[in-house]
Structure 1
Amino acid sequence: MHLSTAHLIFRVVFASIVMVVLALPAQAAPLKPFKDELFSYGTVLETGDDGDYRVIDYDKMRDIHGRDQEPERRVRRAYVSLGVKRAQANETLDLANRPLDVLRVGAPSGAAFTVIFIHGRGGDRRLGANDWSFGGNFNRLKNLAVENGGAYYAPSIRSFDDAGVADIAGLVAFARQQSPGRPVVLACASMGSFICWGITRNPQAVAALKGMMIMGGPADPTFNKSAAYKKKLPIFFSHGSDDSVYAAADQIAFYRSLKKANYPSRFVLFQTGSHGTPVRMTDWRDALNWIGLD
């Protein structure tokens, strides 16, 4: 059977399109579930802003004493999958002529995405590496990274000042260099949030980021003058309502100001949660899928 000229042209064009699509780098889909039945949010007590503001039921007896074999020290075995340890390594990176100690989990290059976690005062990379503390939440993050072809870095922060910000700007640039064109998410807890807010003033770092997470951190009253604000870099917040270090009311007011300006932001408040609750209870898969890893 003979094909018409129109059919031949269609086949040639279609084949060319297929070849171009196959040549493009793979795009990261939403993260696949991993122990969602254990780590997803519980009862939603209040919701607003079309779902971007949620108040989640938190109970210390259930979410710490019921979840942990040794409260706040060792989670029950069902919450961790330790095979991921085969994909992790402690490394020292030479960034901007200054060494930076990091834990890396997952692909050293060609990662579908990268998550960088910044600890608070008194911590180091071991905090973000601990499989058993914080209810196994870091173990879940590690497994989400590996199972979805991504990478996770937990650096040791030496100071929460301009030098510390410069270190993390170097790590963000390194992650982009290792995995060109792929998204990078910066997540900061407690005092580590000063690093996140400092990064928002660095146009090169902001250009490399897909989003940020602030967990139990302070608000930034001058954020609207930053490069991140101009870019409308998505920000996910999580906070405990009874945080005695950084008041939840201040962070909620900050979030409200962003929403009023149509800024892409989301807030999860853990009712009766304390300062450490967001690191334990934040659903990493929910937050990263909201930010978008494409």
Structure 2
Amino acid sequence: MSSVFTAKSCFLVLFALLRVAEAQAFELASHKDRLFAYPGVLSSSDGGAYRVVDYQEMRDINGRDAVPERQVEGRYVSTGVRRAQQELAMKTEAGTLRFFAVGKTSGASAIVIYLHGQGGNRRQGVNDLTFGGNFNRIKNLMVKSGGLYLSPDVADFEANGKRQIAALISHYAAASPDAPVFVACGSMGGVQCWWLAEDASMVERLGGLMLLGSLWHEAFLKSPAFAARVPVFFGHGSNDRVFPVERQEEFFRKIRSVAKGYPARFVRFETGTHGTPIRMTDWRETLNWMLAQR
């Protein structure tokens, strides 16, 4: 009897170890990595957690777009991914939420959600041709990796918007119970990122937060997400006139000083402006780093 029990116990332990190894080994599949790699790192500090990346408008917009800021050159996009894209609507207690879903709506390996800023809408996050093709890349990355990408409308940056995004996350997290949820917030969309960090029920599913040309939030240092050491990425242009880069850098350094070794990264795009991080952030590098923290 004891030998049977021992054999069964060993099998269960081995199975658990294999599951852990699989989780640790998972990373997003490659897609046009060379084209979307950072053009050059001017400086690096804090063990690589803080980097200054070379950004040049003439090269990274005019040299990349067929029509500057309107249509990227064809080699940067793979539009076949549109076959995996659908426009949906969900009824929530805060009203109907409209959004795009790209990839597996159940049983996904990972979930990435993009939340737009003031004046944006759900279409921004699935536009294949703007922002240098970077949204087309994240769509392809998720489909090739068996994941799900969501781009919803953000009703507002107050109660209704919070309730709708919470409903969206809860629905798709339940449909993909093993999938970590990564939330990328552009500009004012960061309000939603910081709210999620304060909601313990949401934090359980969060794999990481990405603040792209966004704002800081001192209360994060006392949030459930901070206590759980949820990875945070900051991408910011040095010439951002909406949210000064110095304030965001100060906040990043505070996070790292309050909690030694906290999984936070900062990429400063030198000479970049407010929208530069949405165009230039390397989705695959950032998300694979976050996955590795699990």
TM-score calculated relative to the size of structure 1: 0.91
Cα distance between partner residues in 1 of 2:18 and 2:289: 27
Aligned to 2:286: 287
One-letter code of the match for 2:137? R
Deviations 1:52-75 (CA, angstroms, capped at 9, x unpaired) = 110000000000000000000000
Tell me which moved more, 255-264 or 64-73.
Answer: 255-264
Aligned to 1:177: 174
SS at match of 1:125: coil
Match of 2:56 among 55, 59, 62: 59
Cα distance between partner residues in 2 of 1:23 and 1:95: 38
How far 1:97 sits from its partner (Å)?
5.9
Aligned to 1:219: 216
One-letter code of the match for 1:145? M
Aligned to 1:205: 202
Unaligned runs of 5+ in 1: 1-7
For these two proteins, the number of residue pairs brought into alignment is 286
Instruction: Say whether the 8 Å CA contact 1:162–1:198 is kept in structure 2.
Output: no
One-letter code of the match for 2:285? D
Aligned to 2:45: 48
Match of 1:241 among 223, 227, 238: 238
How far 1:229 sits from its partner (Å)?
1.6
State yes or no: 1:155 paired with 2:190: no
Aligned to 1:5: none
Matches within 5 A, 1:96-115: 96=93, 98-115=95-112
Cα distance between partner residues in 1 of 2:223 and 2:94: 26
Match of 2:35 among 29, 35, 38: 38
Instruction: Say whether the 8 Å CA contact 2:109–2:178 is kept in structure 1.
Output: no
Cα distance between partner residues in 1 of 2:153 and 2:81: 21
How far 1:224 sits from its partner (Å)?
1.4
Deviations 1:215-267 (CA, angstroms, capped at 9, x unpaired) = 00011122212221222211011000000000000000000001112222000
Tell me which moved more, 210-219 or 17-26.
Answer: 17-26
How far 1:18 sits from its partner (Å)?
9.7
Deviations 1:90-124 (CA, angstroms, capped at 9, x unpaired) = 00012346321110000010000000000011111
Cα distance between partner residues in 2 of 1:184 and 1:224: 20
User: Residues 234 and 23 (structure 1 numbering): CA distance in 2 closer, same or farther, change over 3 Å?
Assistant: closer
Cα RMSD of the aligned pairs, angstroms, is 2.2
TM-score calculated relative to the size of structure 2: 0.91
SS at match of 1:55: strand
